[in-house]
Amino acid sequence: MSDFVRVMAATDLPPGQAAQVEVDGQAVALFNVDGTFHALSNRCPHRGGALGQGFLDGTEVSCPEHNWTFDVTTGQNVVSADMCVPRHEAKIVDGQVWVKVA
């Protein structure tokens, strides 16, 4: 199991935006929802689209390739709760965003 890794300053990702970062060699999609940061695997299970390049609307991100939509707080697909994207821990410490992948 990895430790938390600093990925960016919290001010570098405004509310309502998404970004792609790398944590321990894994691609991670990072989302700022009203100042709360959430992290998911950056790979959509449908066709591998980069969720960090998707459109964030509230707590839902749409894959930029085929519009599959996931709740960034849980990783669950909004149509089928059986389909999930792995979720990672994210926290803010001293204005920096830290992410931990399992």
What confidence tens digit (pLDDT) does each residue in 11-34 have? 999 999 999 999 999 999 999 999
Collapsed DSSP state (helix, strand, coil) of residue 13 = coil
pLDDT value at residue 102? 80
Cβ–Cβ < 8 Å for 84, 74: yes
pLDDT value at residue 47? 86
- DSSP secondary structure letters along 49-78: -BGGGSEEETTEEE-TTT--EEETTT-BBS
5-100: CATH architecture: 3-layer Sandwich (2.102)
What confidence tens digit (pLDDT) does each residue in 32-76 have? 999 999 999 999 998 899 999 999 999 999 999 999 999 999 999
Beta strand 87-93 pairing with 36-41 = antiparallel
